[in-house]
Structure 1
Amino acid sequence: MSRKIFLFTIILLFTLLPGHTLNTASTFIEHIEDSAINIYKENGKHLFSTTMEVVKGDRYISEDNFEYIIKEVTANKAVAEKIGKIDLLAGNQAKNQGPFELASVKNKTVAIYHTHNGESYEPGKHNISGKGEIHEIGQTLKESLEKIGVKTIHSENLHLPHDGFAYERSRATAVDLARKNPGLILDLHRDGVPDKNEYLKKVDGKIISQIRIVIGRQNPNSSANDQLARQLKATADRTYPGLIKDIFYGRGNYNQSIAPRSLLLEFGTHVNNKGEVTASAQLLAEPLKELLYGETTPAGGGKRIFRNLFWIILALITALLAYLFINEKNWQGVLKRIKKIIPIEILDKLDDK
């Protein structure tokens, strides 16, 4: 009897440890390249792939904002039932502005850390024993945010090895960051899906690796994290459509119980190259700033407006010259018409220069 009580006590204590579930080890060993699972719609069409653990009841919001629920899982395959199209900002107080909750947060700092430190990208090793390229992506995001005026903390604490208890080791880092009361806490990862096209997308004229948002369903902040994830996707959809690939709601905690404004972000997969991932990290800074400050003119927005205005003006000038040439039959005639339109003094000054 005493032995049974002892075992029961050990199991109970293990269950109550912060961040633990009884299936911690099996749940949190993810992003391993040979553990990819493919999720299909009920009609057999591929929906998405991931190396996160997928179980019945997990939810998913696609890039085009359709919600699905996992109904069946067998080995490396799962089937998802479509629930329907959703409004990402349903229930929010300011659909046409920046997210109301974060816009009112006084501390606008973004905190970044890495539970799986060794994660890297091709053409090098996919995982190393130390700071992998995911740390460089974190630094890129930090620099991009600071460039547009957002204070950022980037913790490079190591939580090696990449095993089932990496989240337990990174919990201390997450707690330390939470004590600074930042506006956002981001745990940066990369996926392990062997198909680079799973994340590739052309956004803002560049080929980038998309970003997946992951929410742990087994934490008391899951509702707040969910709202935050939807707000970030809605903001990014408006600023850089396609940058956020989707939102996955998996079984687990992912240390999101520590703070209600925390997210896990997957920057591409290991077969994407670092340049594609760096580009997505640079683009993400603007939606994050808008998330924190409300609707603003994103950094770089002025450049895009100027660039667009330049091409509009160029197109108008080209159309005008073509019209004049058709009517005058030669460039000498075009020049005479222009001299009639533009004062001779201006033309003389241009000739002098």
Structure 2
Amino acid sequence: MQQGIHVNGWRLNVKEKTFQVIVSVLIIVLSIYIASKCINTIVKDKAKGNINEAAVQTANFLVGEIIENTSILTQYMIYMENHGDLSEEMKKQILESVVTEYINGSEYSYDTNDPGYKQVVQLIYDKVNATEQPETTQLETVEETTTQPQTKVEEAKKELVPIPKMTGTKYTKDNLGSFKKVIERFYTVTAATTIRESDMPLDKALSEKFKIKGNNKKPQILIYHTHSMETFSNSNSEDKNTTIIGVGNRLEKVLSKQFGYNVIHDKTTYDIVNGVLDRNEAYTQSEKGVKKILKDNPSISLVLDIHRDGVNDNTHLVTEINGKPTAKIMFLNGMSRFKESGDISYLHNDYLFENLALTLQMKLAAEAYYPDFTRRNYINAYEYNLGVCRQCMLIEIGAQTNTYQEAVNAAEPLAVLIDKVMRGE
């Protein structure tokens, strides 16, 4: 059964977004619980016509906890942006319903029928939105002396990556076609290897479920770079932040700040071996590093190896997304198989099907939301450390002919696609 929120007889089917918001407001609920006695005091004093100044400050502290937490701000803004057709009153009631739903299902005790509860929700709503002068509530009798909350809201808005509407083709098992057609339309398979229908049965691949496990109190996503020395056309050789490392920085920031995931970005230089650039030995080195990180952080459930491709000097892999020049990306899969001699036993991958299903879903999501963003999925013979976990991808962002900024821009829609696929959209 799909979960929704009941508001005055309306059932709002917000699916995973509701869950995401519920998780995001955890800090709100904890703060409400801590401040509950002060809030009750406010209500009692209100009946006597005497608002306690210290209690008002406590309520403002509650709001401050939200304002200071950028991930909560961005999560809530995205939710409101995706439901722009709702009235302000309905949005306010959704906020109250989300908080109430969490409280009722948690170990914390708070009387949501208390008159002061609606005032707390109103105060939270006014401060977090801060898009216009908020209505005066009976809690706000102490004049505020700072505009810092509004400043932080504006800063958070600047960090938002727009959530796209579906402008491309939504592929399902009914219109995707045969396995042969899918390979012809969406894949490049090198002469060194093969991909068979038994490797990736389409119905099973489309229905395979992927998600980020746990909550963001522990690491959930690992970003690393087997080839950390890869540069772009205008990279500064003395500044790692203008290399593929900087692209990983932007991907990390969007995934963590906008979507609320707990991300580890491993910036280890794996492709310098004995002082020399060695991109083949780099996979041996990165495998050791990644396995250690996963052992130390078993909560991680998605691993991303972020590269940039190498192409002919006259090839420029660029499109436009959100009004910005954006490098095109490519998902790469290794089959651990040579076409002539068969399986490569020392490169066995227990998660070959899952890897293939995940990149297929990512490709189809891109076709629906960013039709010109992705290149054909690339299939080669080797394993590329994709067997380290079930949800593992190697992603090529642009190439040496792209500018650094074009590649950084590509990290933004990539983060959106990752979030959509991980939430089952």
Instruction: Name the TM-score, length of structure 2 as normaliser.
Output: 0.46
CA distance in 1, matches of 2:294, 2:181: 27
Q: How does 1:42-81 map to 2 (within 5 A)?
A: 65-67=185-187, 69-71=189-191
CA contact (8 A) 1:199 1:268 kept: yes
CA root-mean-square deviation? 3.4
| Cα drift, residue 130 of structure 1 | 6.8
What are the Cα deviations for residues 80-127 of structure 1, in whole angstroms up to 9, with x where unaligned?
Answer: 99x9xxx99633464xxxxx52137446822100111111111246x7
Q: Structure 1 residues 263 and 103, CA, compared in 2 at 3 Å: closer, same or farther? A: closer
User: Contact between 1:119 and 1:132, CA under 8 Å: does it hold in 2?
Assistant: no
* Structure 1 gaps, min length 5: 1-58, 74-79, 95-99, 296-353
The residue that corresponds to 2:246 in the other structure is 136
Which residue does 1:103 correspond to in 2?
211
The answer for the alignment partner of 2:140 in structure 1 is none
- Distance change >3 Å, CA 168–CA 70, structure 1 → 2: closer
Counterpart for residue 372 of structure 2: 242
The sequence identity of aligned pairs, in percent, is 24
Larger Rg: 1
Distance across 2 between alignment mates of 1:232 and 1:247: 10
Distance 1:129 1:217, change over 3 A: farther
- Residue 235 of structure 1 deviates from its aligned partner by 1.8
1:114 to 2:225 alignment: yes
Task: Give the corresponding residue for 1:172.
Answer: 288
1:160 equivalent in alignment to 2:276:
no
CA contact (8 A) 2:332 2:394 kept: yes
Aligned to 1:18: none
Distance 2:238 2:389 in 1: 29
Letter paired with 1:143: K
Contact conserved, 1:211 with 1:280, CA < 8 A, in 2? Answer: yes
Q: 1:254 and 1:141, CA in 2 relative to 1: closer, same or farther beyond 3 A?
A: same
Sort the Cα spacing of 1:150 and 1:65 in 2 relative to 1 into closer, same or farther, 3 A.
farther
Residues 265-311 of structure 1 show CA distances to partners (whole Å, capped at 9, x for unaligned) of 1111111101111111011111111121222xxxxxxxxxxxxxxxx
- Tell me the distance in 1 between the aligned counterparts of 2:181 and 2:284: 25
Check if 1:213 corresponds to 2:331. yes
1:226 aligns with 2:356: yes
Using a 3 Å threshold, how does the CA distance of structure 1 residues 66 and 137 change in structure 2: closer, same or farther? closer
Q: TM-score, normalised by structure 1?
A: 0.55
Deviations, residues 240-275 of structure 1 (Å, cap 9, x unaligned): 222221211111121112212111111111111011
Confirm or deny: 8 A CA contact 2:331 2:378 kept in the other structure. yes
Note if 1:288 corresponds to 2:288.
no
Structure 2 SS opposite 1:223: helix
Residue pair 2:223, 2:264 contacting (<8 A) in 1 also:
yes
Counterpart of 2:117 in structure 1 is none
Number of the residue aligned with 1:149: 260
**Cα distance in 1 for residues equivalent to 2:266 and 2:395:** 15
1:171 CA drift (Å): 1.0
8 Å contact from structure 1 (residues 133, 274) kept in 2? yes
Larger % of strand: which? 1
Which deviates more from structure 2 when the two are superposed, residues 115-124 or residues 261-270?
A: 115-124
User: Displacement, 1:226?
Assistant: 0.5
C-alpha distance in 2, partners of 1:172/1:159? 10
Could you tell me which amino acid in structure 2 is paired with residue 177 of structure 1?
I
CA distance in 1, matches of 2:202, 2:260: 26
Please state how far the C-alpha of 1:190 moved relative to its aligned partner: 0.8
**1:60·1:67 contact (CA, 8 Å) conserved in 2?**
no
State the 1:69 CA deviation: 4.1
Unpaired stretches in structure 2, ≥5 consecutive residues:
1-179, 337-347
Aligned residues: 221
The answer to whether the Cα contact below 8 Å between 1:192 and 1:270 also exists between their aligned partners in 2 is yes
CA distance in 2 between counterparts of 1:131 and 1:166 reads 20
